[in-house]
C-alpha cells in the first residue's frame, strides 16, 4: 500500500516538475523576447536586417567627415573578378546593375561602388573585359562576361536585354526590385522603403518619365536610373525575341526598353515621381543645405547627374549624416527610456537587488555601448538655458551637512532636516556621489562622512545640478579618508556625473583690493591677511592705492607685519588718474600674468580661509568663474538682542547680497577675454553688474552661490547728489537702507521714536 502511494506521489511530482519546466521556459522565452524588444541599442533596418546603430558610424568613417572629399577613399579593397551573391529572401530587397555611361572612368565607377554601393542589398557592375581593375568593396560583383562597349560608350538595347536576361537567371529569386543605373547617379538607399510606400500596387516600371514623340510612348530615362519590378523583369525576358524586333537600333537602351515595355505591358513609365528621381542641375553646395530638414534632397531616391568623384563623396556624406542623426535620436530616446525605467523600478518594489539584476540582463552584451553613452553624458554641459543679464540668471545655493544657505528667503539658512523633500533629494545626490567614489576606488568601499562644501542649482524643468566636496572614509578603516569633489546632475528620474574642473590646492591666488583712502579698515584688512597667510601661503595681496601719503602709510604697516611674518606676499600698485573702483581693479589686474588666478575683493570684507579653497575649485580657466554672494552685516546699533543674533549668519545680523556682484574669482585671461571692467564708469556702483553681464554673454560658465566665508562689515556710506548720477544716487540710498538692519528691529526703533517724539509721526507722515 505504501509502495503504491509512494509511486503515485512520485509520478505526480515528476508530472508537476515537467509542467513547471515547460511554463518556466515559456515565461523565460517571453521575458527574453520582451527584453530584446526593449533593448535601446539595436534596430531593424527598413528591410528587416538587424544591425547595430554604431554601424552608421562605420559608414561615416569610410569617408572623411567634411563637405569636400578626396577623389579616392583610402585603403579600399580591389576586385577584378566576379563574386557570388549571398542568398537573400529579404522583402523589398534591391539588386542594382551599374552600367557605364558616356564619360565613365574607373575612378567614377569605383566612387559609386564605395559610397552608395556599400549599403545597397546587392550590386553588380557590368564593364567590358578591357576595363582596368576597379577598387570596389568586398561582395560587389564585377561582371566582364558581356562584350559591352568600352568605357565612354553606353550599352545598346540588345546588350541591355542580355543584361536583364542574366539578372533573371542569376539573382531573380534574391530580389524584389531591379535598378539599372550609371555611375553618374547617386542612389539614396535610405529612402528606398519610403519610395516604395509611395508607389501604387500596379507600378512596375519606374523612373524619370520622358516622352518619345515619334512613336508616342513614355519611357523612363536612364539619367536617373530605371527601376523594374520582379513581375516586369520576368515579362520582358519572356518577350525577349519580340523586344529585339520592336526596338530600333537607333534607340538608346532606355528608349528601347520603354518601347518593349509599352508593347508587352501596354503601358509606360509611371508618371509623377520627379521628386524621387531628382535632377540636380543647380549644383548647390551641400554645406548650405546640410541642416535643412525640408530639402528635396532629403527624400530623393535618385540624384543625378553627379558631375565628379568629389561630388559623389560629398552627396554620400550628406545622406549618411541625415541617417546618422535619425538613428542617434532614436537611440538616445530609447536609451533614456530604459535607464529611466531601471532607475524608477527600485522605488516601486521592495527588493532593489532583483530589479538591478533584471536591468543588467536587459543590457546584456550592450553594456559597453551603454557605458560609452554614459561617458558622453558625463561631459555634457548641464547649462540648458543661457541668460543674457543678471535678472535672468538663476543662482546656485550652498549647503553643508546640516544647513542649506539660501538667498531666496529672508532666512539666510535652513536646517535640511526640517524639510523632508530637501533631505530626500540631498540623500539621492550624496548616495550617487558615494557610488561614483566607490566605482573610482574599487574594490575599496567608502562612505560619506561629512559634506565640506555643497552647491546645488535648481532648474524646475530639467532637475538639480550638484557639486559636492566631501570627506569619504573607508568602511573598514574609518581613519583612512578621502577628500573628493563630485558633480552630479539629478534629472527627474536619473542622474549622471560631470567631470570636476580641477582640484589644485597649491594654486596661487592674487587678491586685488582697491583703496581710495587709508582708514582703520585698511589696517584691519592687513592684519586679517597676515593671519590667513600664516595658514595658506599660496596667496598674494595686490593693493591698488591712490594718493602718495596713503602709499607711505600702508608701507609702514606692511613693514610692521613683515617683522612677525617676513615672507608675507604683499604688492603695492600706485594708482593713476582719479579713483574709481573699476579703474583701481582694472589697474591691479593689468599687473598680473595671463594664467594668474585673481580674487577681486574690497577692503570691507572679512574673509575666512575656507573661502580660498572654493575660489580655486570653482574656477577653471576658459570654462568657469566664481561669483560668491557675500553676507552683508547690518549696523550694530540695530541688532536684535534675540538669542539667534549670536549666530553670525542670521537674519538679525545681516542678509545675503544677491544684488551685489563685486566679489569675483577669475583668471586674468578670462577677464581680458570678456572685456574687463568698464573704466569709464565713475562714482558709485554699476561696474560690477556690467562685468557680470559680460561674463554671462561669453561661453564661460558662472558659479554663483552664497559663500559663508565672505562677510561684508557694515560701514557708513555717503550718498551725494553732487558727485553721483541720479540713478547711482538712488542705488546708493537703496544700498544704505538695505544694509541698515532687519525690518523687525528697525520697526521697533521707528515706533520707539514715535513714542519719544509724538510730533515726529505727523511731520514725517509715518503710518501707524
DSSP calls for 14-66: HHHHHHHHHHHHHHHHHHHHHHHHH-TTEEE-TTS-EEETTHHHHHHHTS-SS
519, 551 in Cβ contact below 8 A?
no
Lowest average pLDDT, out of 129-133, 214-218, 258-262, 590-594, goes to 129-133
Measured in whole angstroms, how far is the alpha carbon of residue 25 from the centre of its chain?
43
Helices (H), 266-383: 286-289, 296-299, 309-348, 352-363, 367-378
Residue 462 has pLDDT above 90, yes or no: no
Strands, DSSP E only, in 555-663?
Answer: 570-574, 597-600, 605-607, 624-633, 654-656
Q: Residue 665: is the preceding peptide bond cis (ω within 30°)? A: no
Residue 113 has pLDDT above 60, yes or no: yes
Residue 534 has pLDDT above 80, yes or no: yes
Name which residue leads in pLDDT, 179 or 146: 179
Residue 649 has pLDDT above 70, yes or no: yes
Question: What would the pLDDT profile of 667-680 be if each residue is shown by its tens digit?
Answer: 999 999 999 999 88
Backbone angles phi, psi at 576, to 5 degrees: -115, 140
DSSP calls for 635-655: PGGG---SGGGGSSS-TTTEE
Q: Is the dihedral of CA 126, 130, 135, 139 positive or negative?
A: positive
Mean pLDDT of the region 180-198:
86
Residue 723 is predicted with a pLDDT of 67
CA distance 618 to 501: 8
Name which residue leads in pLDDT, 762 or 635: 635
Residue 502 is predicted with a pLDDT of 73
Mean pLDDT of the region 534-557:
89
Mean pLDDT of the region 171-181:
88
CA distance 710 to 654: 12
Residue 714: helix, strand or coil by DSSP?
A: coil
CATH of domain 509-751: 3.90.550.10
Looking at residue 424, the DSSP 8-state letter turns out to be: H
Mean pLDDT of the region 2-27:
46
| Torsion-angle region of 759 (φ positive above 0: left; ψ -120 to 50: alpha; else: beta) | alpha
Residue 347: helix, strand or coil by DSSP?
A: helix
pLDDT class for 641, splitting at 50, 70, 90?
Answer: low
Residue 273 has pLDDT above 90, yes or no: no
Q: Which CATH architecture has domain 397-498?
A: Roll (3.10)
CA distance 560 to 564: 7
**Mean pLDDT highest for which of 48-52, 381-385, 410-414, 533-537?**
533-537
Mean pLDDT of the region 594-611:
95
Residue 421 is predicted with a pLDDT of 60
CA distance 208 to 528: 85
pLDDT class for 419, splitting at 50, 70, 90?
Answer: low
631, 708 in Cβ contact below 8 A?
yes
Lowest average pLDDT, out of 40-54, 104-118, 246-260, goes to 40-54
Per-domain residue ranges of the chain: 14-75+308-364, 80-274, 397-498, 509-751
Helix (H), strand (E), coil (C) string for 261-280: HHHHHCCCCECCCCCCEEEC
Lowest average pLDDT, out of 193-197, 265-269, 639-643, goes to 639-643
State the first-to-last Cα distance of the chain, in angstroms, to the nearest integer: 104
Diameter of the chain measured on Cα atoms: 125
Mean pLDDT of the region 442-458:
91
Residue 133 is predicted with a pLDDT of 80
Name which residue leads in pLDDT, 712 or 14: 712
Per DSSP bridges, beta strands 122-126 and 141-143 are parallel
Looking at residue 492, the DSSP 8-state letter turns out to be: S
Question: What would the pLDDT profile of 205-233 be if each residue is shown by its tens digit?
Answer: 999 888 887 778 888 988 889 999 988 88
Residue 171 is predicted with a pLDDT of 85
Residue 587 has pLDDT above 80, yes or no: yes
Name which residue leads in pLDDT, 291 or 109: 109
Closest CA to 550 of 574, 579, 518: 518
User: What count of Cα atoms within 13 Å lies in the side-chain half-sphere of residue 445?
Assistant: 3
pLDDT class for 681, splitting at 50, 70, 90?
Answer: confident
Percent of the chain with pLDDT over 70: 71
Residue 353: helix, strand or coil by DSSP?
A: helix
Lowest average pLDDT, out of 85-99, 428-442, 561-575, goes to 85-99
Residue 89 has pLDDT above 90, yes or no: no
Residue 191 has pLDDT above 70, yes or no: yes
Residue 154 is predicted with a pLDDT of 62
Q: Which CATH architecture has domain 80-274?
A: Alpha-Beta Complex (3.90)
Name which residue leads in pLDDT, 309 or 627: 627
80-274 shares its CATH topology with 509-751: yes
Residue 636 is predicted with a pLDDT of 74
Q: Which uninterrupted H or E stretch holds 229? A: strand 226-229
Residue 365 has pLDDT above 50, yes or no: no
| Residue with cell string 530616446 | 333
Looking at the DSSP bridge assignments, the partners of residue 724 are: none
Residue 458 has pLDDT above 90, yes or no: no
Residue 447 is predicted with a pLDDT of 93
Percent of the chain with pLDDT over 90: 26
CA distance 534 to 528: 10
Residue 83 is predicted with a pLDDT of 35
Mean pLDDT of the region 271-294:
69
Residue 496 is predicted with a pLDDT of 61
Mean pLDDT of the region 579-601:
95
Mean pLDDT of the chain: 76
Looking at residue 407, the DSSP 8-state letter turns out to be: S
For the chain, the 3-state helix, strand and coil shares in percent, each to the nearest 5, are 40, 20, 40
pLDDT class for 756, splitting at 50, 70, 90?
Answer: confident
Looking at residue 681, the DSSP 8-state letter turns out to be: -
How deeply is 235 buried, as exposed, middle or buried, from its count of CB atoms within 10 A (0-12, 13-18, 19+)?
Answer: middle
pLDDT class for 640, splitting at 50, 70, 90?
Answer: low
Cβ contacts of residue 315 below 8 Å, gap of 6+? 115, 186, 286, 303, 306
Question: What would the pLDDT profile of 729-742 be if each residue is shown by its tens digit?
Answer: 777 777 777 777 77
pLDDT class for 563, splitting at 50, 70, 90?
Answer: very high
DSSP calls for 437-483: HHHHTTTS-EEEEEEEEEEEEEETTTEEEEEEEEEEEESS-TT-EEE
Name which residue leads in pLDDT, 723 or 49: 723
Residue 497 is predicted with a pLDDT of 67
Q: Is the dihedral of CA 411, 416, 419, 425 positive or negative?
A: positive
pTM: 0.46
DSSP calls for 367-386: HHHHHHHHHHHHTS----S-
| Residue with cell string 553643508 | 400
**Grid cell for residue 362:** 536587459
Q: How far is residue 463 from each of residues 80, 178, 447, 488, 625, measured CA to CA in Å?
A: 59, 53, 25, 11, 22
Closest CA to 100 of 228, 253, 231: 253
**Mean pLDDT highest for which of 319-328, 370-379, 513-522?**
513-522
Residue 696 is predicted with a pLDDT of 93
299, 191 in Cβ contact below 8 A?
yes
Residue 487 has pLDDT above 50, yes or no: yes
Residue 192 is predicted with a pLDDT of 83
**Grid cell for residue 135:** 577598387
Residue 285 is predicted with a pLDDT of 65
Amino acid at each position: 500500500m505504501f509502495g503504491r502511494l509512494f509511486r503515485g506521489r512520485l509520478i505526480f511530482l515528476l508530472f508537476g516538475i515537467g509542467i513547471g519546466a515547460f511554463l518556466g521556459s515559456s515565461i523565460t522565452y517571453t521575458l527574453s523576447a520582451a527584453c530584446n524588444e526593449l533593448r535601446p541599442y539595436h534596430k531593424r533596418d527598413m528591410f528587416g536586417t538587424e544591425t547595430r546603430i554604431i554601424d552608421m558610424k562605420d559608414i561615416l568613417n569610410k569617408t572623411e567627415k567634411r563637405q569636400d572629399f578626396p577623389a579616392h577613399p583610402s585603403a579600399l579593397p580591389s576586385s577584378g573578378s566576379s563574386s557570388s551573391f549571398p542568398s537573400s529572401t529579404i522583402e523589398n530587397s534591391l539588386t542594382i546593375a551599374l552600367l557605364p555611361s558616356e564619360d565613365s572612368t574607373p575612378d567614377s565607377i569605383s566612387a559609386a561602388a564605395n559610397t552608395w554601393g556599400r549599403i545597397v542589398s546587392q550590386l553588380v557592375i557590368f564593364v567590358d573585359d578591357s576595363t582596368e581593375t576597379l577598387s570596389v568593396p568586398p561582395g560587389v560583383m564585377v561582371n566582364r562576361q558581356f562584350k559591352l562597349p568600352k568605357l565612354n560608350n553606353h550599352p545598346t538595347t540588345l546588350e541591355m536585354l542580355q543584361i536583364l536576361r542574366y539578372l533573371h537567371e542569376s539573382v531573380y529569386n534574391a530580389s524584389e526590385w531591379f535598378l539599372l543605373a550609371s555611375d553618374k547617379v547617386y542612389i539614396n538607399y535610405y529612402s528606398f522603403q519610403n519610395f516604395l510606400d509611395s508607389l501604387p500596387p500596379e507600378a512596375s516600371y519606374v523612373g524619370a518619365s520622358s516622352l518619345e514623340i515619334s512613336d508616342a510612348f513614355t519611357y523612363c530615362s536612364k539619367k536617373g536610373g530605371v527601376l523594374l519590378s520582379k513581375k516586369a523583369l520576368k515579362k520582358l525576358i519572356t518577350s525577349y525575341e519580340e523586344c529585339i524586333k520592336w526596338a530600333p537600333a537607333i534607340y538608346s537602351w532606355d528608349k528601347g526598353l520603354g518601347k518593349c515595355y509599352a508593347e508587352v505591358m501596354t503601358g509606360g513609365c509611371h508618371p509623377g515621381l520627379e521628386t524621387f528621381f531628382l535632377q540636380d542641375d543647380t549644383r548647390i553646395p551641400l554645406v548650405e543645405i546640410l541642416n535643412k530638414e525640408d530639402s528635396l534632397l532629403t527624400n530623393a531616391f535618385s540624384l543625378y547627374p553627379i558631375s565628379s568623384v568629389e561630388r559623389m563623396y560629398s552627396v554620400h556624406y550628406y545622406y549618411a549624416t541625415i541617417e546618422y542623426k535619425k538613428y542617434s535620436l532614436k537611440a538616445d530616446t530609447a536609451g533614456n527610456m530604459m535607464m529611466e525605467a531601471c532607475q524608477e523600478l527600485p522605488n516601486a518594489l521592495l527588493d532593489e537587488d532583483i530589479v538591478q539584476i533584471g536591468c543588467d540582463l536587459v543590457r546584456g552584451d550592450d553594456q559597453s555601448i551603454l557605458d560609452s553613452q554614459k561617458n558622453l553624458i558625463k561631459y555634457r554641459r548641464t547649462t540648458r538655458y543661457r541668460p543674457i543679464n543678471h535678472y535672468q540668471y538663476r543662482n546656485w545655493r550652498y549647503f553643508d551637512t546640516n544647513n542649506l544657505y539660501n538667498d531666496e528667503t529672508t532666512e539666510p539658512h535652513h536646517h535640511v532636516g526640517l524639510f523632508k523633500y530637501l533631505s530626500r533629494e540631498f540623500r539621492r545626490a550624496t548616495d550617487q556621489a558615494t557610488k561614483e567614489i566607490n566605482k573610482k576606488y574599487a574594490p575599496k568601499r567608502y562612505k560619506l562622512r561629512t559634506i565640506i562644501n555643497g552647491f546645488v542649482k535648481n532648474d524646475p524643468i530639467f532637475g538639480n545640478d550638484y557639486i559636492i566636496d566631501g570627506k569619504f572614509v573607508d568602511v573598514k578603516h574609518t581613519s583612512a579618508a578621502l577628500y573628493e569633489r563630485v558633480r552630479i546632475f539629478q534629472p527627474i528620474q536619473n542622474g549622471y556625473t560631470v567631470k570636476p574642473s580641477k582640484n589644485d590646492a597649491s594654486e596661487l591666488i592674487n587678491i586685488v583690493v582697491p583703496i581710495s583712502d587709508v582708514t582703520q579698515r585698511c589696517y584691519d584688512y592687513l592684519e586679517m591677511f597676515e593671519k590667513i597667510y600664516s595658514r595658506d601661503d599660496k596667496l598674494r595681496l595686490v593693493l591698488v592705492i591712490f594718493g602718495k601719503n596713503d602709499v607711505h602709510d600702508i608701507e609702514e604697516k606692511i613693514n610692521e607685519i613683515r617683522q612677525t611674518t617676513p615672507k608675507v606676499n604683499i604688492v603695492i600698485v600706485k594708482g593713476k588718474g582719479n579713483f574709481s573702483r573699476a579703474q583701481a581693479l582694472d589697474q591691479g589686474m593689468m599687473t598680473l600674468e595671463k594664467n594668474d588666478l585673481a580674487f577681486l575683493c574690497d577692503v570691507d570684507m572679512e574673509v575666512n580661509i575656507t573661502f580660498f579653497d572654493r575660489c580655486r575649485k570653482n574656477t577653471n580657466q576658459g570654462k568657469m568663474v566664481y561669483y560668491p554672494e557675500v553676507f552683508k552685516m547690518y549696523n550694530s546699533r540695530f541688532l536684535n538682542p534675540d538669542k539667534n543674533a549670536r549666530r553670525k549668519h542670521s537674519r538679525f545680523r545681516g542678509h545675503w547680497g544677491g544684488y551685489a556682484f563685486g566679489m569675483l574669482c577669475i583668471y586674468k585671461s578670462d577677464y581680458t577675454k570678456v572685456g574687463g571692467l568698464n573704466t569709464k564708469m565713475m562714482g558709485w556702483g554699476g561696474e560690477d553688474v556690467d562685468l557680470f553681464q559680460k561674463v554671462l554673454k561669453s561661453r564661460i560658465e558662472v558659479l554663483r552661490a552664497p559663500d559663508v566665508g565672505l562677510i561684508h562689515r557694515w560701514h557708513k556710506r555717503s550718498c551725494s547728489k553732487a558727485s553721483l548720477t541720479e540713478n547711482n544716487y538712488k542705488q546708493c540710498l537703496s544700498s544704505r537702507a538695505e544694509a541698515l538692519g532687519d525690518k523687525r528691529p528697525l520697526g521697533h526703533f521707528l515706533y520707539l521714536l514715535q513714542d519719544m517724539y509724538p510730533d515726529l509721526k505727523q511731520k514725517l507722515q509715518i503710518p501707524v
